[in-house]
Structure 1
Protein backbone atom coordinates (compact mmCIF):
# COMPACT_ATOMS: atom_id res chain seq x y z
CA UNK A 1 0.00 0.00 0.00
CA UNK A 2 1.44 3.37 -1.01
CA UNK A 3 1.50 6.17 1.58
CA UNK A 4 -1.30 8.69 1.52
CA UNK A 5 -0.77 11.58 -0.86
CA UNK A 6 0.26 14.85 0.69
CA UNK A 7 -1.33 18.26 0.13
CA UNK A 8 0.10 21.28 -1.63
CA UNK A 9 1.49 23.84 0.78
CA UNK A 10 -0.84 26.83 0.63
CA UNK A 11 2.02 29.24 1.27
CA UNK A 12 3.85 28.01 -1.84
CA UNK A 13 0.68 28.28 -3.90
CA UNK A 14 0.45 32.00 -3.14
CA UNK A 15 3.80 32.69 -4.83
CA UNK A 16 3.44 30.46 -7.89
CA UNK A 17 3.64 32.12 -11.30
CA UNK A 18 1.50 29.47 -13.00
CA UNK A 19 -1.11 27.27 -11.32
CA UNK A 20 -3.29 24.47 -12.63
CA UNK A 21 -5.29 21.60 -11.20
CA UNK A 22 -4.17 19.58 -14.23
CA UNK A 23 -0.64 18.68 -15.38
CA UNK A 24 1.56 21.46 -16.75
CA UNK A 25 4.14 21.04 -19.53
CA UNK A 26 7.58 22.51 -18.95
CA UNK A 27 9.63 22.90 -22.12
CA UNK A 28 13.38 23.48 -22.19
CA UNK A 29 15.68 24.57 -24.95
CA UNK A 30 17.62 21.30 -25.13
CA UNK A 31 17.23 18.30 -27.39
CA UNK A 32 13.59 17.63 -28.37
CA UNK A 33 12.63 14.61 -30.44
CA UNK A 34 10.09 14.73 -33.29
CA UNK A 35 7.21 13.41 -31.16
CA UNK A 36 8.22 14.84 -27.77
CA UNK A 37 6.09 17.98 -27.85
CA UNK A 38 3.01 16.18 -29.20
CA UNK A 39 3.28 13.48 -26.52
CA UNK A 40 3.53 16.19 -23.88
CA UNK A 41 1.01 18.78 -25.06
CA UNK A 42 -1.91 16.34 -25.38
CA UNK A 43 -1.63 15.62 -21.67
CA UNK A 44 -1.58 19.13 -20.19
CA UNK A 45 -3.70 22.24 -19.74
CA UNK A 46 -0.92 24.86 -19.64
CA UNK A 47 2.55 25.15 -21.14
CA UNK A 48 5.49 26.91 -19.50
CA UNK A 49 8.77 27.55 -21.30
CA UNK A 50 12.06 27.61 -19.45
CA UNK A 51 13.81 30.46 -21.26
CA UNK A 52 14.77 29.22 -24.76
CA UNK A 53 12.16 26.47 -24.54
CA UNK A 54 9.77 29.06 -25.97
CA UNK A 55 11.45 28.73 -29.37
CA UNK A 56 10.42 25.15 -30.27
CA UNK A 57 6.94 25.85 -28.90
CA UNK A 58 6.45 28.92 -31.05
CA UNK A 59 7.91 27.16 -34.08
CA UNK A 60 5.12 24.64 -33.54
CA UNK A 61 2.56 27.46 -33.40
CA UNK A 62 2.02 27.40 -29.62
CA UNK A 63 2.64 30.53 -27.57
CA UNK A 64 3.63 29.53 -24.02
CA UNK A 65 1.37 30.53 -21.15
CA UNK A 66 4.49 31.75 -19.34
CA UNK A 67 8.22 32.02 -19.98
CA UNK A 68 10.42 31.76 -16.89
CA UNK A 69 14.21 32.08 -16.79
CA UNK A 70 17.13 34.46 -17.09
CA UNK A 71 16.31 35.03 -20.80
CA UNK A 72 19.87 34.55 -22.01
CA UNK A 73 18.70 31.95 -24.56
CA UNK A 74 15.53 33.59 -25.84
CA UNK A 75 16.15 35.48 -29.07
CA UNK A 76 14.51 38.91 -29.21
CA UNK A 77 12.63 37.98 -32.39
CA UNK A 78 10.72 35.40 -30.36
CA UNK A 79 10.49 37.40 -27.14
CA UNK A 80 8.81 40.31 -28.92
CA UNK A 81 6.00 38.00 -30.12
CA UNK A 82 5.11 36.90 -26.59
CA UNK A 83 2.70 39.06 -24.55
CA UNK A 84 4.64 40.94 -21.89
CA UNK A 85 2.39 39.65 -19.12
CA UNK A 86 3.62 36.13 -19.94
CA UNK A 87 7.31 36.98 -19.49
CA UNK A 88 8.79 36.34 -16.04
CA UNK A 89 12.52 37.08 -15.96
CA UNK A 90 14.49 35.74 -13.00
CA UNK A 91 17.99 37.14 -13.43
CA UNK A 92 19.91 35.35 -10.66
CA UNK A 93 22.58 32.95 -11.92
CA UNK A 94 22.67 30.55 -8.96
CA UNK A 95 20.14 28.15 -10.49
CA UNK A 96 19.25 26.69 -13.89
CA UNK A 97 16.24 27.76 -15.93
CA UNK A 98 14.70 24.35 -15.18
CA UNK A 99 15.06 25.04 -11.45
CA UNK A 100 13.60 28.55 -11.80
CA UNK A 101 10.58 27.27 -13.73
CA UNK A 102 9.88 24.15 -11.66
CA UNK A 103 9.86 26.01 -8.36
CA UNK A 104 7.44 28.62 -9.75
CA UNK A 105 4.63 26.38 -10.97
CA UNK A 106 1.92 24.78 -8.84
CA UNK A 107 0.35 21.64 -10.28
CA UNK A 108 -0.23 17.98 -9.43
CA UNK A 109 2.35 16.99 -12.04
CA UNK A 110 4.88 18.58 -14.40
CA UNK A 111 5.79 16.97 -17.72
CA UNK A 112 9.24 18.15 -18.76
CA UNK A 113 10.66 17.94 -22.27
CA UNK A 114 13.84 19.43 -23.74
CA UNK A 115 15.96 18.82 -20.64
CA UNK A 116 17.63 15.46 -21.38
CA UNK A 117 20.21 14.80 -24.07
CA UNK A 118 22.88 17.25 -25.17
CA UNK A 119 25.49 18.47 -22.68
CA UNK A 120 26.09 16.17 -19.73
CA UNK A 121 26.64 19.02 -17.27
CA UNK A 122 23.24 20.47 -18.16
CA UNK A 123 21.58 17.10 -17.64
CA UNK A 124 23.25 16.60 -14.26
CA UNK A 125 22.11 20.04 -13.12
CA UNK A 126 18.53 19.21 -14.16
CA UNK A 127 18.60 15.89 -12.30
CA UNK A 128 20.02 17.64 -9.24
CA UNK A 129 17.09 20.07 -9.26
CA UNK A 130 14.62 17.23 -9.85
CA UNK A 131 15.77 15.61 -6.61
CA UNK A 132 16.29 18.82 -4.63
CA UNK A 133 12.80 20.17 -5.39
CA UNK A 134 11.41 16.97 -3.93
CA UNK A 135 7.90 18.28 -3.23
CA UNK A 136 7.20 18.99 -6.93
CA UNK A 137 6.40 15.82 -8.91
CA UNK A 138 7.94 16.01 -12.37
CA UNK A 139 8.42 13.52 -15.19
CA UNK A 140 11.22 14.15 -17.69
CA UNK A 141 10.76 12.72 -21.17
CA UNK A 142 13.95 11.55 -22.83
CA UNK A 143 14.81 9.90 -26.12
CA UNK A 144 14.43 6.41 -24.63
CA UNK A 145 13.11 6.78 -21.12
CA UNK A 146 10.97 8.63 -18.62
CA UNK A 147 12.90 9.87 -15.57
CA UNK A 148 11.35 10.85 -12.25
CA UNK A 149 12.20 11.30 -8.59
CA UNK A 150 10.72 8.33 -6.76
CA UNK A 151 7.78 9.27 -4.50
CA UNK A 152 7.22 7.41 -1.21
CA UNK A 153 5.42 4.63 -3.08
CA UNK A 154 4.47 3.86 -6.66
CA UNK A 155 2.95 0.95 -8.58
CA UNK A 156 3.46 0.63 -12.33
CA UNK A 157 1.93 -1.89 -14.73
CA UNK A 158 5.07 -2.36 -16.81
CA UNK A 159 5.67 -4.95 -19.52
CA UNK A 160 7.78 -7.94 -18.44
CA UNK A 161 11.33 -7.33 -19.58
CA UNK A 162 11.10 -3.53 -19.36
CA UNK A 163 14.29 -1.96 -18.05
CA UNK A 164 13.83 -0.27 -14.67
CA UNK A 165 16.89 1.65 -13.54
CA UNK A 166 17.30 3.15 -10.08
CA UNK A 167 20.00 5.71 -9.36
CA UNK A 168 20.43 7.27 -5.90
CA UNK A 169 21.46 10.88 -5.50
CA UNK A 170 21.78 10.26 -1.78
CA UNK A 171 21.70 7.27 0.57
CA UNK A 172 18.31 5.56 0.35
CA UNK A 173 16.70 2.24 1.22
CA UNK A 174 13.46 0.68 0.10
CA UNK A 175 11.50 -2.37 -0.97
CA UNK A 176 10.29 -3.65 -4.30
CA UNK A 177 7.95 -6.19 -5.83
CA UNK A 178 8.02 -7.30 -9.45
CA UNK A 179 11.70 -6.56 -10.12
CA UNK A 180 14.10 -9.27 -11.25
CA UNK A 181 16.56 -8.10 -8.60
CA UNK A 182 14.65 -6.82 -5.52
CA UNK A 183 16.07 -3.87 -3.59
CA UNK A 184 14.90 -5.10 -0.18
CA UNK A 185 17.69 -4.98 2.44
CA UNK A 186 19.95 -3.00 0.08
CA UNK A 187 21.48 0.40 0.71
CA UNK A 188 21.69 2.48 -2.46
CA UNK A 189 24.03 5.47 -2.56
CA UNK A 190 25.80 7.47 -5.28
CA UNK A 191 29.31 6.36 -4.25
CA UNK A 192 28.23 2.77 -3.56
CA UNK A 193 25.61 0.35 -4.82
CA UNK A 194 23.23 1.60 -7.51
CA UNK A 195 20.30 -0.12 -9.20
CA UNK A 196 20.68 0.42 -12.92
CA UNK A 197 19.59 -2.10 -15.59
CA UNK A 198 17.08 -3.94 -13.42
CA UNK A 199 14.10 -5.51 -15.20
CA UNK A 200 10.37 -5.77 -14.61
CA UNK A 201 8.94 -9.26 -14.17
CA UNK A 202 5.35 -8.05 -13.92
CA UNK A 203 3.63 -5.15 -12.19
CA UNK A 204 6.30 -3.24 -10.28
CA UNK A 205 5.73 -1.83 -6.82
CA UNK A 206 8.41 0.39 -5.34
CA UNK A 207 8.48 1.85 -1.83
CA UNK A 208 11.33 4.03 -0.60
CA UNK A 209 12.12 5.28 2.88
CA UNK A 210 13.22 8.77 1.91
CA UNK A 211 13.80 11.11 -1.02
CA UNK A 212 16.79 10.96 -3.33
CA UNK A 213 16.16 8.07 -5.72
CA UNK A 214 15.79 8.59 -9.48
CA UNK A 215 13.75 6.07 -11.46
CA UNK A 216 14.12 5.45 -15.21
CA UNK A 217 11.55 3.41 -17.14
CA UNK A 218 10.91 3.03 -20.89
CA UNK A 219 9.47 6.00 -22.74
CA UNK A 220 6.46 3.89 -23.71
CA UNK A 221 5.47 3.80 -20.02
CA UNK A 222 4.78 7.56 -19.89
CA UNK A 223 1.01 7.16 -19.51
CA UNK A 224 1.44 4.49 -16.83
CA UNK A 225 3.70 6.78 -14.79
CA UNK A 226 1.38 9.76 -15.26
CA UNK A 227 -1.63 7.77 -14.08
CA UNK A 228 0.28 6.58 -11.02
CA UNK A 229 1.24 10.11 -9.98
CA UNK A 230 -2.24 11.50 -10.63
CA UNK A 231 -3.94 8.67 -8.71
CA UNK A 232 -3.26 10.37 -5.38
CA UNK A 233 -1.74 7.15 -4.04
CA UNK A 234 1.98 7.82 -4.42
CA UNK A 235 2.39 10.19 -1.51
CA UNK A 236 4.46 13.38 -1.62
CA UNK A 237 7.72 14.33 -0.01
CA UNK A 238 7.62 17.53 2.05
CA UNK A 239 9.48 20.57 0.76
CA UNK A 240 13.17 20.37 1.54
CA UNK A 241 14.37 22.58 4.37
CA UNK A 242 17.05 24.99 3.14
Structure 2
Protein backbone atom coordinates (compact mmCIF):
# COMPACT_ATOMS: atom_id res chain seq x y z
CA UNK A 1 0.00 0.00 0.00
CA UNK A 2 1.19 3.51 -0.82
CA UNK A 3 -1.03 5.20 1.78
CA UNK A 4 -1.94 3.57 5.08
CA UNK A 5 -4.07 5.45 7.58
CA UNK A 6 -6.11 4.66 10.66
CA UNK A 7 -8.30 7.67 9.84
CA UNK A 8 -10.49 8.63 6.91
CA UNK A 9 -8.55 9.71 3.81
CA UNK A 10 -9.51 12.50 1.41
CA UNK A 11 -8.81 11.63 -2.24
CA UNK A 12 -8.94 14.46 -4.80
CA UNK A 13 -9.50 13.85 -8.51
CA UNK A 14 -9.11 16.10 -11.54
CA UNK A 15 -12.85 16.56 -12.15
CA UNK A 16 -15.02 19.27 -10.62
CA UNK A 17 -13.81 20.16 -7.11
CA UNK A 18 -13.96 23.43 -5.22
CA UNK A 19 -11.72 24.67 -2.43
CA UNK A 20 -14.70 24.51 -0.07
CA UNK A 21 -15.43 20.89 -1.01
CA UNK A 22 -11.82 19.85 -0.42
CA UNK A 23 -11.85 21.60 2.96
CA UNK A 24 -15.13 19.91 3.88
CA UNK A 25 -13.70 16.48 3.11
CA UNK A 26 -10.41 17.24 4.85
CA UNK A 27 -12.29 18.13 8.02
CA UNK A 28 -13.51 14.53 7.99
CA UNK A 29 -10.41 12.92 6.48
CA UNK A 30 -7.18 14.81 7.24
CA UNK A 31 -4.84 12.66 5.15
CA UNK A 32 -4.84 14.23 1.68
CA UNK A 33 -4.13 12.18 -1.44
CA UNK A 34 -4.43 13.23 -5.07
CA UNK A 35 -5.23 11.05 -8.05
CA UNK A 36 -2.78 12.43 -10.63
CA UNK A 37 -4.21 15.73 -11.93
CA UNK A 38 -6.23 16.15 -8.75
CA UNK A 39 -3.01 17.51 -7.25
CA UNK A 40 -3.70 20.76 -9.13
CA UNK A 41 -6.91 21.18 -7.11
CA UNK A 42 -4.96 20.58 -3.89
CA UNK A 43 -2.37 23.19 -4.80
CA UNK A 44 -5.09 25.66 -5.79
CA UNK A 45 -6.51 25.17 -2.29
CA UNK A 46 -3.03 25.84 -0.88
CA UNK A 47 -2.83 22.24 0.35
CA UNK A 48 0.10 19.91 -0.27
CA UNK A 49 -1.03 16.32 -0.89
CA UNK A 50 0.64 13.64 1.18
CA UNK A 51 0.78 11.47 -1.93
CA UNK A 52 -0.02 11.73 -5.64
CA UNK A 53 -0.95 8.44 -7.31
CA UNK A 54 -1.61 7.84 -11.01
CA UNK A 55 -0.07 7.45 -14.44
CA UNK A 56 1.55 10.89 -14.01
CA UNK A 57 0.66 12.32 -17.39
CA UNK A 58 0.74 15.67 -15.56
CA UNK A 59 4.06 14.95 -13.86
CA UNK A 60 5.98 17.85 -15.40
CA UNK A 61 3.46 20.49 -14.35
CA UNK A 62 3.13 19.05 -10.86
CA UNK A 63 6.87 18.79 -10.29
CA UNK A 64 7.25 22.41 -11.38
CA UNK A 65 4.82 23.44 -8.64
CA UNK A 66 6.99 22.02 -5.90
CA UNK A 67 5.63 18.57 -5.13
CA UNK A 68 8.54 16.53 -3.81
CA UNK A 69 9.46 13.43 -5.79
CA UNK A 70 8.92 11.14 -2.79
CA UNK A 71 5.26 12.13 -2.77
CA UNK A 72 4.79 11.10 -6.42
CA UNK A 73 3.84 7.48 -7.01
CA UNK A 74 3.71 6.60 -10.69
CA UNK A 75 1.66 3.63 -11.89
CA UNK A 76 2.14 3.75 -15.66
CA UNK A 77 -0.24 0.98 -16.78
CA UNK A 78 -3.20 2.16 -18.83
CA UNK A 79 -5.67 -0.62 -18.02
CA UNK A 80 -7.21 1.28 -15.11
CA UNK A 81 -8.21 4.84 -14.25
CA UNK A 82 -6.31 7.10 -11.88
CA UNK A 83 -9.18 6.72 -9.40
CA UNK A 84 -8.77 2.95 -9.53
CA UNK A 85 -4.99 3.20 -9.14
CA UNK A 86 -5.32 5.50 -6.14
CA UNK A 87 -8.15 3.68 -4.36
CA UNK A 88 -6.53 0.27 -4.56
CA UNK A 89 -3.34 1.69 -3.04
CA UNK A 90 -5.01 3.27 0.00
CA UNK A 91 -5.71 1.39 3.21
CA UNK A 92 -8.06 3.35 5.47
CA UNK A 93 -11.40 2.89 7.24
CA UNK A 94 -13.00 5.18 4.65
CA UNK A 95 -12.02 7.22 1.60
CA UNK A 96 -13.78 10.46 0.67
CA UNK A 97 -13.49 11.17 -3.04
CA UNK A 98 -13.96 14.70 -4.38
CA UNK A 99 -13.29 15.73 -7.97
CA UNK A 100 -14.57 12.49 -9.49
CA UNK A 101 -18.11 13.56 -10.40
CA UNK A 102 -19.15 16.05 -13.04
CA UNK A 103 -17.03 17.40 -15.91
CA UNK A 104 -17.12 14.13 -17.93
CA UNK A 105 -19.84 11.51 -17.71
CA UNK A 106 -17.57 8.68 -18.88
CA UNK A 107 -15.14 9.39 -16.04
CA UNK A 108 -17.99 9.49 -13.54
CA UNK A 109 -19.38 6.17 -14.75
CA UNK A 110 -15.90 4.66 -14.58
CA UNK A 111 -15.68 5.71 -10.92
CA UNK A 112 -18.98 3.97 -10.16
CA UNK A 113 -17.58 0.87 -11.84
CA UNK A 114 -14.56 0.99 -9.53
CA UNK A 115 -16.77 1.26 -6.43
CA UNK A 116 -18.35 -2.06 -7.40
CA UNK A 117 -15.11 -3.76 -8.46
CA UNK A 118 -13.36 -2.78 -5.22
CA UNK A 119 -16.18 -3.35 -2.71
CA UNK A 120 -13.74 -3.91 0.17
CA UNK A 121 -12.64 -0.28 -0.14
CA UNK A 122 -15.25 1.89 1.57
CA UNK A 123 -15.48 5.08 -0.42
CA UNK A 124 -17.92 7.99 -0.64
CA UNK A 125 -17.90 10.26 -3.70
CA UNK A 126 -18.95 13.88 -3.21
CA UNK A 127 -20.46 15.63 -6.23
CA UNK A 128 -22.04 19.01 -6.79
CA UNK A 129 -25.52 17.72 -5.88
CA UNK A 130 -25.12 14.24 -4.36
CA UNK A 131 -23.02 11.80 -2.42
CA UNK A 132 -22.63 8.29 -3.85
CA UNK A 133 -21.34 5.12 -2.21
CA UNK A 134 -21.65 1.35 -2.44
CA UNK A 135 -24.16 -0.07 0.01
CA UNK A 136 -22.45 -2.27 2.62
CA UNK A 137 -24.14 -5.55 3.63
CA UNK A 138 -26.13 -3.67 6.27
CA UNK A 139 -26.59 0.08 6.53
CA UNK A 140 -28.34 2.31 9.05
CA UNK A 141 -28.85 5.99 8.26
CA UNK A 142 -30.40 8.58 10.54
CA UNK A 143 -32.33 10.58 7.93
CA UNK A 144 -34.99 13.22 8.19
CA UNK A 145 -38.43 12.40 6.73
CA UNK A 146 -38.59 13.31 3.07
CA UNK A 147 -34.85 12.94 2.41
CA UNK A 148 -34.27 11.64 -1.12
CA UNK A 149 -32.84 8.12 -1.17
CA UNK A 150 -31.94 6.71 -4.58
CA UNK A 151 -30.73 3.16 -5.08
CA UNK A 152 -29.06 2.27 -8.37
CA UNK A 153 -27.90 -1.27 -9.17
CA UNK A 154 -24.74 -2.04 -11.14
CA UNK A 155 -25.53 -5.74 -11.14
CA UNK A 156 -28.21 -8.15 -10.01
CA UNK A 157 -28.98 -7.50 -6.35
CA UNK A 158 -31.83 -7.87 -3.87
CA UNK A 159 -32.42 -6.31 -0.50
CA UNK A 160 -34.78 -5.42 2.29
CA UNK A 161 -35.42 -2.04 3.85
CA UNK A 162 -37.05 -0.34 6.78
CA UNK A 163 -37.93 3.34 6.80
CA UNK A 164 -38.29 3.88 3.05
CA UNK A 165 -41.50 5.20 1.54
CA UNK A 166 -41.37 2.37 -1.01
CA UNK A 167 -39.85 -0.76 0.61
CA UNK A 168 -37.50 -2.82 -1.55
CA UNK A 169 -38.20 -6.31 -0.15
CA UNK A 170 -39.00 -8.83 -2.87
CA UNK A 171 -37.56 -6.70 -5.68
CA UNK A 172 -34.81 -7.75 -8.07
CA UNK A 173 -32.67 -4.76 -9.07
CA UNK A 174 -30.64 -4.80 -12.29
CA UNK A 175 -29.09 -2.02 -14.42
CA UNK A 176 -31.31 -2.97 -17.37
CA UNK A 177 -34.42 -3.66 -15.28
CA UNK A 178 -35.83 -2.36 -12.03
CA UNK A 179 -33.98 0.50 -10.36
CA UNK A 180 -34.76 2.41 -7.18
CA UNK A 181 -34.26 6.11 -7.84
CA UNK A 182 -36.24 8.88 -6.13
CA UNK A 183 -37.31 6.92 -3.09
CA UNK A 184 -37.71 8.84 0.17
CA UNK A 185 -36.97 8.35 3.84
CA UNK A 186 -39.80 8.23 6.36
CA UNK A 187 -37.21 8.79 9.08
CA UNK A 188 -34.23 6.59 10.04
CA UNK A 189 -33.53 4.05 7.29
CA UNK A 190 -32.06 0.56 7.41
CA UNK A 191 -31.08 -1.32 4.25
CA UNK A 192 -29.62 -4.81 3.85
CA UNK A 193 -28.49 -6.13 0.47
CA UNK A 194 -27.41 -9.49 -0.90
CA UNK A 195 -24.26 -8.36 -2.70
CA UNK A 196 -21.90 -5.47 -3.46
CA UNK A 197 -23.84 -4.15 -6.44
CA UNK A 198 -26.09 -1.35 -5.17
CA UNK A 199 -25.14 2.33 -5.19
CA UNK A 200 -26.77 4.61 -2.62
CA UNK A 201 -27.28 8.21 -3.75
CA UNK A 202 -28.22 10.92 -1.24
CA UNK A 203 -28.22 14.72 -1.21
CA UNK A 204 -24.73 16.16 -0.66
CA UNK A 205 -25.94 17.70 2.59
CA UNK A 206 -25.83 14.17 4.05
CA UNK A 207 -22.05 13.75 3.66
CA UNK A 208 -21.20 14.01 7.35
CA UNK A 209 -24.17 11.79 8.22
CA UNK A 210 -23.03 9.14 5.73
CA UNK A 211 -19.45 9.20 7.00
CA UNK A 212 -20.63 8.70 10.58
CA UNK A 213 -22.93 5.86 9.53
CA UNK A 214 -20.32 3.99 7.47
CA UNK A 215 -17.64 4.27 10.14
CA UNK A 216 -20.11 2.85 12.66
CA UNK A 217 -21.21 0.01 10.37
CA UNK A 218 -19.61 -3.37 11.17
CA UNK A 219 -18.89 -5.84 8.44
CA UNK A 220 -17.60 -5.19 4.95
CA UNK A 221 -17.59 -6.81 1.55
CA UNK A 222 -14.59 -9.02 0.80
CA UNK A 223 -12.25 -8.21 -2.07
CA UNK A 224 -13.37 -9.66 -5.38
Match of 1:96 in 2: 81
Q: 113, 118, 131: which one pairs with 2:103?
A: 118
Equivalent in the alignment of 1:166? 151
* Partner of residue 236, structure 1: 220
The corresponding residue for 1:156 is 141
Q: Equivalents in 2 of 1:75, 1:51: separation in Å?
A: 8
TM-score (norm 1): 0.90
Larger relative contact order (Cα-Cα within 8 Å, sequence gap ≥ 6): 1
State whether structure 2 residue 67 is matched by structure 1 residue 65.
no
Q: Structure 2-normalised TM-score?
A: 0.97
- Alignment partners' CA distance in 2, 1:175 and 1:36: 33
- Once residues 62 and 45 of structure 1 are traced to their aligned partners in structure 2, the CA distance between those partners, rounded to angstroms, is 11
Residue 211 of structure 2 aligns to a residue in which SS? helix
Shift of 1:71: 1.2
Partner of 2:25: 40
- Alignment deviations for residues 196-237 of structure 1 (CA, whole Å, 9 cap, x no partner): 010111101010011110000111111111011111x34200
Kindly state the Cα deviation for residue 109 of structure 1 after the two structures are TM-superposed.
0.1
Q: Does 1:129 align with 2:104?
A: no
Alignment of 1:150-229 (within 5 A): 150-229=135-214
Alpha-carbon offset, residue 35 of structure 1: 2.3
- Asked whether the equivalents of residues 33 and 143 of structure 1 are also in contact (C-alpha less than 8 Å), the reply is no
CA shift for structure 1 position 75: 5.6
Please state how far the C-alpha of 1:18 moved relative to its aligned partner.
Answer: 0.4
SS at 2:162 equivalent: strand
Unaligned runs of 5+ in 2: none
What do you get for the CA RMSD once the two structures are aligned? 1.0
Q: How far 1:22 moved relative to its partner?
A: 0.2
- The separation in 1 between residues aligned to 2:205 and 2:91, in whole angstroms, is 26
**Matched residue count:** 223
Unaligned 5+ segments in structure 1 are: 1-15
CA contact (8 A) 2:19 2:41 kept: no
